[in-house]
Structure 1
Amino acid sequence: MKKIIILMSTLMCALSLSAQVVECAFTSIDEDIDHNKILYANTVYRVEGCIRVLPGYTLEIEPGTIVMFEKASKASLIVERGAYVQINGTLSELVNFVSDQKSFARQRGDWGGFYILGNAENNESGGIIELDEAECEIVGGGENNADSSGVIQYLNVMFSEYGMTGVGVGNKTVIDHIYVSQSADKGIRLLGCDARIKHTIVKDIAGSGYEFDFGDNSKMQYGIAVTVDTSAHRASGTNQLVISNNSNSEYATPLGRSIVSNFSLINPRFCGYTTLNNDFQNSVLYKKGAGGGVYNTVVTGSPRGLYFGDFSAMESADLALLNYSYNTGVDNTSPYDAVTTWPTNCALDIDDWILGTAIGACAQTGNDFYSLPYDLGYSNTICGATPSFLLGTTDLDDASFPASSDLDNGFFTSGSQKRGAINASVDWTGWKIWNEAAFTVCPENRMAPTGIANVANGKTQLSVYPNPANDIAYVEFNTENAGKVTVDVVNSLGQVVRSINTNTAKGKQSIEVETGGLSAGVYMVTVTFENGLSAHAKVMVK
């Protein structure tokens, strides 16, 4: 009798899962991708199980495509080392990754995650990072920081366990405008990467919104972490931004230096919630020997703004290997704290370090901490169904990008701007799905997609001629402003085979690229602008 009851219980559970699956037609992806493959916007797809894009092949996803992930198999999509992914979302036609459950039946953790694996250096033993999660084996890392895993733009990832995870992603991978929401554990996670990423949002992530680990050296600018749902927490702790050197061995070398700037970390207190579950812990958590730093960031409404989770992270800060400068904290229960007594080699205590009174290289600068009233300039519509991300009248200071600092390089946009990710000219509204529960997969029930206002170079048209090319190709495009551009030619293995860095004037550009000596085949040409946006075109080499 006991066996029959267990069997019936299992059957009822399976029937319950099946009853919640969307009821429109879809195309299954149930085998590893071992050939070049395109997913089209006029078809709904479902990933079933752990599906891998195998080395040597390219997965291309058209703008506006919806890819579902099977809940029953905890499905995940994995771009292996040596494979290439081209996700071509746009401002008006996003690419959406979502569980296969009906609207309002989806839950955090319905499916595994989206994994991008590359060959960048890390500090794990043997130089290889291995994960065993979402019922998939994940292996990444190597010795090539300039590795490219592809192009990922205007992607929404909803109701997964692990969100979007990069393992060993190199700095030639193009990633921008990523929205991850309603994850059970991770939002955007970079492990041993050397990635360069701009314009991201993580919303209602129950674990870590942004996470850096295993000797990560990524740089990110313009990120928003927002929690408007007080059920988005987990017992292991809910933090919006977590930086570790190596969670397995805090003193592993080489030391990771993850650098973020212009983030807005918006916690439930901002939305008026005065009583929170104790799982809600920190906006910024430094731990396990962390290196790098957080700059020009706004932290508001958190139980703790910045927290040092262990002595090894405090040692890094005291040795000037870990930074926190030009940041503004508003209405946080505790603006900053540490788990134990400060090392006292450079600074006397955490106050001495963070307020810049320490006599030594470890002293931070430009940090401000305020209680209410303070005119942050952020709209309270962020807490509702139709948010506005335009900056209003504000008391925020201007962002700072000092010479010879972590921010003094070609990646960070350093023009006139306020601290945080939100400004008065570009509204992020529409470039995401704020009511994810209501998102509709079936085409007959779907509303036309909407996008946010144009941003500089957001609609740049790129052409390559002659095409096919023999020895020389010319890359043509228009620029709205003078500045630096990078032209990369990437083969089908995701390897950058030609790279040109140049300064351009405003107007029409024509850049000569040598294609002689390249093997015959199709190549991706990517032009990356100084503001982090990019344009792409294909060229055939004879």
Structure 2
Amino acid sequence: MKSLKFKALILAVVILAASCKKSSDTDPIVDPNAKQTLTLQNGAVISGVYKNTILNVPEGNFTLKGYVYFEDGSEINIAAGATIKSDVSDKGALIIERGAKINAIGTAAKPVVFTSGKAVGQRNPGDWGGIIILGKAKTNRSTEPTIEGGVGKNFGGTVDNDNSGTLKYVRIEFAGIASQPNSEINGLTLGGVGSGTTIEYVQVAYGNDDAFEIFGGTVNAKYLVAYGTADDDFDFDFGYTGRIQFGVTLRDPSVVDPGDAGNGIECDNDGTGTNATPATRPVLSNFTFVGPNVDNTASKNHNYANRFRRASNFVLNNSVLIGWMKGGLSLESDATYNSLVGTTTTSEFKNNLLHANASSYRIGSVTVAGATADAVKTKAEGSATITLAAAADAKLTDPFNLTSPNMLPAAGSPASTGAAFAGDLTNSFFSSTTYRGAFGTTNWMAGWTNFNFTKGASGY
């Protein structure tokens, strides 16, 4: 009994002494606003909102559950060889807000893969959302717009060299869900992303909406692949003025949006074709646009190789466009027509190879006096573009092969020569080539891309 009383007395003294110590004597001062660093274990779930956090995702397999937000000041770093699959019931989407960063840096041997959580043979376009990156670069909106997709976040600003991180050797598969009509999440959506961001070697495969959609901003990119897209392969809007070199589109005839028209490029200044500035003017070189090359019921909504409309401007040079059933180069507003053929000459379509089964050149909703599709053709051919009689005349090795495409020029191909780099293309961003299209003698898609998707009764 005495022993218990003595122990209780000693304990009371210890507690009293501890309570009298100053926290500065031994206890660290914890800043509640300090950034925390978290490293996931293989098999972990990524979900919720990350605030003031650096999240490290190592090589392994992970689940993306629901809409996941990285707020201003947060960062997600994804290592080579990481595979992130969407939760099946709570479809995932990754949203990088303004001031946050994503660094998903794979290698040709170990790409970073975002994909469906369903088993092989059951995967389909639209199994999950996609990746949205928002930055602080300029748009042509008078206020900071809200990105589509139902995520409720704004983008844009005045920092044209804003840095949202790095995507390199990344695959995005089976993305594209619509939260509401005409408000979809694309494979990769970029809103007001600045030129300090690095985007290279990114493939979007079997997306249910656009593969790459860019709203405003100044971000540059190289080595982009759109494969089996349901809607547009590349969509530019809201004053995008960046540069892209080495792009590929490969359409699957059996996959297209049943309610919309799928194009290689769709480009608008804005949704109503105003003259808001900065004007949408992507500067593009060395693209290979491979259309469905068939015309049947399943492919009826596959549309044009290039659809420039609603007062947009553009530069598209040194490229190859083949296999498009409805049209090649389509200009669909007075301002867009004038920018290439008329008086403003702010657009360029030079040194290209172009074939379409119908209407290689066309116009729509153009009221300019004397405007014709033949005038567009004359302008293009006067700028060293060659209009081909057949897709085979491009002499690419095996461009329409859906499971193992080879888009390199074959012997005697007119794509092997004819490129020129002048004007906007003298910018140091561009690598000068002698060849037209995305490839010379090296297949830069080898190793990290995936075209091995065979559709069964339940999916891919």
| Alignment check: 8 A CA contact 1:398 1:419 kept | yes
| Alignment check: 8 A CA contact 2:351 2:420 kept | no
- For residue 257 of structure 2, the aligned residue among 229, 233, 237 is 233
Once the 2 structures are TM-superposed, how far is the Cα of residue 47 of structure 1 from its aligned partner? 1.3
Q: Which runs of 5+ in 1 are unaligned?
A: 1-24, 358-362, 439-542
Matched ranges for 1:95-494 at <5 A? 95-126=112-143, 128-133=144-149, 135-161=150-176, 162-269=186-293, 273-275=294-296, 277-303=299-325, 304-317=327-340, 318=342, 319-341=344-366, 343-344=368-369, 349-356=372-379, 365-372=383-390, 374-380=392-398, 382-393=400-411, 394-396=413-415, 398-403=417-422, 405-415=423-433, 417-436=434-453
Query: What amino acid is the match of 1:30?
Result: S
SS at match of 1:215: coil
Distance 2:408 2:352 in 1: 19
SS at match of 1:406: helix
Q: Which runs of 5+ in 2 are unaligned?
A: 1-41, 177-185, 456-460
| Alignment check: 8 A CA contact 1:324 1:354 kept | no
The number of residue pairs the alignment matches comes to: 399
| Alignment check: 8 A CA contact 2:362 2:372 kept | no
SS at match of 2:147: strand
Question: Percent identity, aligned pairs only?
Answer: 23
From the superposition, tell whether residues 103 and 229 of structure 1 become closer, same or farther in structure 2 (CA, over 3 Å): farther
Query: What amino acid is the match of 2:289?
Result: L
| Alignment check: 8 A CA contact 2:229 2:255 kept | no
SS at match of 1:224: strand
Task: Please list the CA deviations of residues 134-175 of structure 1 after superposition, one character each: whole Å capped at 9, or x if unmatched.
Answer: x42232111011110011100000001110011111101111
- The equivalent of 1:36 in structure 2 is 54
Matched ranges for 1:525-536 at <5 A? none
SS at match of 1:250: coil
- The equivalent of 1:534 in structure 2 is none
Distance 1:375 1:401 in 2: 21
From the superposition, tell whether residues 240 and 213 of structure 1 become closer, same or farther in structure 2 (CA, over 3 Å): same
Distance 1:50 1:97 in 2: 14
Deviates more, 1:241-250 or 1:46-55: 241-250
Query: What amino acid is the match of 1:322?
Result: S
From the superposition, tell whether residues 399 and 49 of structure 1 become closer, same or farther in structure 2 (CA, over 3 Å): farther
Distance 2:107 2:281 in 1: 31
- The equivalent of 2:10 in structure 1 is none
Compute the TM-score of the two structures, normalised by the length of structure 2. Answer: 0.82
Distance 1:364 1:373 in 2: 21
Compute the TM-score of the two structures, normalised by the length of structure 1. Answer: 0.70
Once the 2 structures are TM-superposed, how far is the Cα of residue 108 of structure 1 from its aligned partner? 0.8
Deviates more, 1:183-192 or 1:315-324: 315-324
Distance 2:393 2:273 in 1: 42
Once the 2 structures are TM-superposed, how far is the Cα of residue 338 of structure 1 from its aligned partner? 0.6
Aligned CA RMSD, in angstroms, stands at 2.2
| Alignment check: 8 A CA contact 1:179 1:202 kept | yes
Query: What amino acid is the match of 1:31?
Result: G
Once the 2 structures are TM-superposed, how far is the Cα of residue 406 of structure 1 from its aligned partner? 2.0
